[in-house]
Structure 1
Amino acid sequence: MDSLTQIVLGAAVGEAVLGRRVGNKAMLYGAIAGTIPDLDVLSKHFVDTVTATEMHRGFSHSIFFSVLFAPVFGWMISKVERRSRATAKDWSWLMFWGLITHPLLDAFTTWGTQLFWPFDIRLAFQSIFVIDPLYTLPFLVCLVLAMFHKRTSAKRRKLNDLGLKISSIYLLLTLVLKAASFYQFDRNLKEQGIDYREMNTRPSPFNTLLWSANIDVGDAYLIADYSFFDTQGIQFKRYPKNRDLLGNLQKNDKLKRLTEISEGWYTIQKKDDRLYFNDLRFGLMSLNPDEERFAFSYLLSPKNGDVKVKEIPRDRGDAKKLLSALWKRIWGN
């Protein structure tokens, strides 16, 4: 999830664990704990694109990391907060829950987390977008209101608990909505006589009313969207896999690793004699069926028997257009 959401979650968890004893400092250190796992993004400044992508939401988002570093951070805080009523053990407990709830929340997103690192298992329920106001804003309001009450206040505790409960219930609701959208995609595929091997569904940006699906039909993928306000059938757009365009590059180590990162959901695209690797898991940058620009795309540049991989930056202008189109699409076709 986005940084603000993780800060809010970490602060609320910190309050739940140690708020009665140390007041707003529990929220402060909980927020810090909720931010720490995402520091893995700094790796992009030291390693190549593929390695940095592999590292994201890896070790720092694991149970192992939380167990290993919670006592370290707890001890450090106890040295800073010498006059606090909390012990090093108390701070360690707060840090553990602040660290571990971060990847647990991320597990509901499309990217997922390697919660069980070093085992190569990426947990991704794909039921919530990385930024979802319906999850974050009620949570944030409850947290801010709680801050203005004394640490011993029962109302403070109730407000914080309310934020945790509302956000948790919403997360569970996203799983129900995901199942309902899957049913609609599957029903429409059957009605149109389309056989498929596998289907992957996910919510569109900033909401859980409009859903997208990637459908594997063998030599191509079908991509479609569905809103719970739709009154017409689902239309599926075909995107050839074009794996043959890779040629000998299919044996390249970086390409194999990119394939694993994308979990096999990718197409190869050729433009102006350049090859692009499109990760389908995060969808397109436009709802226009005639455009084929994906949210995560990598330029492949073969050189001296190897290949250089460069992530294509996303244009803010495209994002604004997409948001406008999404808002209209949410309300039905």
Structure 2
Amino acid sequence: MDSLTQIVLGAAVGETVLGKKVGNKAMFYGAIAGTIPDLDVLTRYFMDTVTATEWHRGFSHSIFFSVLFAPILGWLVWRLNRKEDASWKDWSWLMFWGLFTHPVLDAFTTWGTQLFWPLKTRLAFQSVFVIDPLYTVPFIIILILAMFQNRTSLKRRRYVRLGLIISSSYLLLTLLLKGIAFQKFENALDIHGLDYIQMNTRPAPFNTILWMANIETEEAYLMGDYSFLDSKPIAFKSYPKNHELLGSLKSNDKIKRLIQITEGWYIISEKNGQLYFNDLRFGLISMDETDTQFAFSYKLVPNGEDISVEEMPKFKRDAKRLMASLWLRIWGN
């Protein structure tokens, strides 16, 4: 999830663990703990694109990381707050839950997390977008209300508990919505007489009303969208896999790692003699059916006997265009 959401969740967890003893400091340090795992984004500045992508939501988002660093960070915080009525163990417990709940929340997103690192299994429920106002905004409001209550106040604890209950219930609701959307896509495929190998579904950006689907067939991938407010049947658009365009590059180590990162959900495109590796899991960069630019696309540049992988940039104008089309599409087809 986005940094703001992780700060809010970390603050709520910190308050739950230690708020009664140290007041708003528990929220403050919980918020810090909730953001630490995302420092893995710094790897992009000193690692190649493929390695940085592999590291994202890897080691720093694992149970092992939480267990290893919680007592270290807890000791540092304890040293800074010796006057507070909280022990090293108390602070370590707060840091652990702040670190651990971060990847648990991220597991609900499309990218997922390697919660069980060093195992390469990525846990991804794909039921919320990385930014979801319906999860974050009510949580923020409730947490702010709690901040202005006395540290020993019963109302303070009730506010935080309410925030955790509402946000957690929403996550469970998204799993139910995902299941319903999956059934809708499956029924539509049956109506069209389409056989498929596998399918995954995910919410469109910023909401859980509009859902997207990737469907694998023998020769192509189908992509479709469904809003709970739709009145017309679901339509699908086909994208050829073009895996053969890789040729001998398919045995290249970087390509193998990219395929593993995407869990096999990728297509190869060619433009002006240039090959692009496109990650299907996050869909196109817009809702325009004529657009062929994927949200995560990598240019494969020959570099002697090897290749360089360059992530294609995303621009503000693309985000604005996507937001406008999403708003219209959410209200039905």
TM bracket, shorter-chain basis: over 0.9
Runs of 4+ in 1 over 4 A off after TM superposition: none
AA at the equivalent of 2:127: S
Mapped pair 1:126 → 2:126: yes
Structure 1 residue 303: Cα displacement: 1.9
| Mapped partners of 2:69, 2:315: distance in 1 | 37
Mapped pair 1:16 → 2:16: yes
Residue matched to 2:177: 177
Structure 1 residue 272: Cα displacement: 1.1
| Mapped partners of 1:5, 1:228: distance in 2 | 25
| Mapped partners of 2:286, 2:47: distance in 1 | 31
Residue matched to 1:286: 286
Mapped pair 1:160 → 2:160: yes
Residue matched to 1:268: 268
Structure 1 residue 305: Cα displacement: 1.2
AA at the equivalent of 1:234: I
| Mapped partners of 2:66, 2:81: distance in 1 | 21
Note the aligned Cα RMSD (angstroms): 0.5
Residue matched to 1:208: 208
AA at the equivalent of 2:260: E
| Mapped partners of 2:36, 2:322: distance in 1 | 31
| Mapped partners of 1:318, 1:71: distance in 2 | 43
Which deviates further from its counterpart, 280-289 or 9-18? Answer: 280-289
Residue matched to 1:75: 75
5+ unaligned residues in a row in structure 2: which ranges? none
Percent sequence identity over matched residues? 66
AA at the equivalent of 1:208: T
Structure 1 residue 197: Cα displacement: 0.4
| Mapped partners of 1:223, 1:305: distance in 2 | 35
AA at the equivalent of 1:32: I
Deviations 1:143-185 (A, max 9, x none): 0110000100111111111100000000000000000000000
5+ unaligned residues in a row in structure 1: which ranges? none
| Mapped partners of 1:295, 1:166: distance in 2 | 31
| Mapped partners of 1:303, 1:243: distance in 2 | 20
Structure 1 residue 287: Cα displacement: 1.0
AA at the equivalent of 1:13: V
Deviations 1:86-118 (A, max 9, x none): 000000000000000000000000000000001
Question: Where do residues 89-168 of structure 1 align in structure 2 (5 Å cutoff)?
Answer: 89-168=89-168
| Mapped partners of 2:2, 2:11: distance in 1 | 14
Structure 1 residue 82: Cα displacement: 1.0
Question: Where do residues 188-207 of structure 1 align in structure 2 (5 Å cutoff)?
Answer: 188-207=188-207
SS at match of 2:83: coil
| Mapped partners of 2:288, 2:87: distance in 1 | 57
| Mapped partners of 2:218, 2:97: distance in 1 | 43
SS at match of 1:12: helix
Mapped pair 1:37 → 2:37: yes
| Mapped partners of 1:130, 1:289: distance in 2 | 23
SS at match of 1:39: helix
| Mapped partners of 1:229, 1:90: distance in 2 | 48
Residue matched to 2:244: 244
AA at the equivalent of 1:66: S
| Mapped partners of 1:156, 1:289: distance in 2 | 49
Residue matched to 2:319: 319
| Mapped partners of 1:319, 1:77: distance in 2 | 39
Deviations 1:19-42 (A, max 9, x none): 000000000000000000000000
| Mapped partners of 1:62, 1:286: distance in 2 | 32
Structure 1 residue 188: Cα displacement: 0.3
In the alignment of these two chains, the number of paired residues is: 333
TM-score, normalised by the number of residues in structure 2? 0.99
Residue matched to 2:50: 50
| Mapped partners of 2:247, 2:327: distance in 1 | 41
Deviations 1:244-288 (A, max 9, x none): 111110000000000000000000000111110000001111111
TM-score, normalised by the number of residues in structure 1? 0.99
